Homo-oligomer: A and B are copies of this chain.
């Protein structure tokens, strides 16, 4: 087994290259320097392209990879690619810490690791929410709500808790709030009450409810302002909306969580409360 080492993380690779640097031939040193200085080229380029940029022969690149214990350039390149998708260091470190904690728990107890998993995912989702939400959208949504005559809340299935929470919280601000809950099968009829100086807050996640999409479309066509709370810019309600929040469920989690949407909903309502308090405290 020629390969005693061959790190899978970029940080380890960096250390390995540094420690082996002394033993390398001059051409291989040249490549080592290039690799550490241009990790992006290493990650995305072909052997020919990297060789050209580094001023060496393609075969030298392969020898470099082999000398570090990798099967070939492609094998080495994986490490450089992992660096690109890992995200910013601090973010990744936090996730890693959580994951390690989760693994430690798995040894002790199975059910508890589920909680560790979801709190970890939840924290990641909240960080992602904060990083990707555009402040301008928040501001616009709040000012639309502050001017609204009536606020209608719509959400079905998994999205319903979010809609209900918004209804509950907005009603407590003494705004006129109406929850479209579809009791008795009159969802579409309830929605017809919304007029052009009203606002409809629609919440919908995959797989998007047909009813919600249809109601949003008709409301938008009538001139009702729509604020969408969804999970993708391709969502059927995002395209119709005046303001659309895409709470991206951070990359491919097996279970969808309501943590981020709930947090966004609360932030919206509290920001709205501040706005109302600071401007006209009247009526």
Contacts and interface: CB of A to CB of B under 8 A. Distances in A.
Interface string A83-110: 0111111110110010011001101111
A208 to B, nearest CB: 11
A85 B88 CA distance: 7
A109 B135 contact: yes
Contact of A101 (B22, B100, B135): B135
B130 A116 contact: yes
A165 interface: yes
Nearest to A83: B88
A111 B142 contact: yes
Given A18-B233, A233-B18, A258-B262, A115 B130 contact: yes
- Each complex incorporates copies of this chain amounting to 2
Nearest to A100: B135
A62 interface: no
A157 B161 contact: no
A158 interface: yes
Interface in A37-92: 37-38, 40, 43-44, 81, 84-91
Interface residues of A, number: 89
Interface in A116-136: 116-119, 122-123, 126-136
Q: Is the interface of A mostly helix, strand, loop or mixed?
A: helix
A264 interface: yes
Given A84-B84, A168-B158, A100 B136 contact: yes
Contact of A123 (B123, B142, B239, B258): B123
A144 to B, nearest CB: 12
Contacts of A130: 97, 115-116, 119
A197 interface: no
A36 B252 CA distance: 12
29 contacts: A18-B234, A18-B238, A22-B239, A38-B251, A38-B252, A44-B81, A88-B90, A90-B91, A93-B131, A100-B136, A109-B274, A111-B139, A112-B135, A112-B139, A117-B267, A118-B267, A119-B126, A119-B130, A122-B263, A160-B161, A161-B162, A161-B164, A161-B262, A183-B183, A257-B262, A257-B263, A257-B266, A258-B266, A259-B259
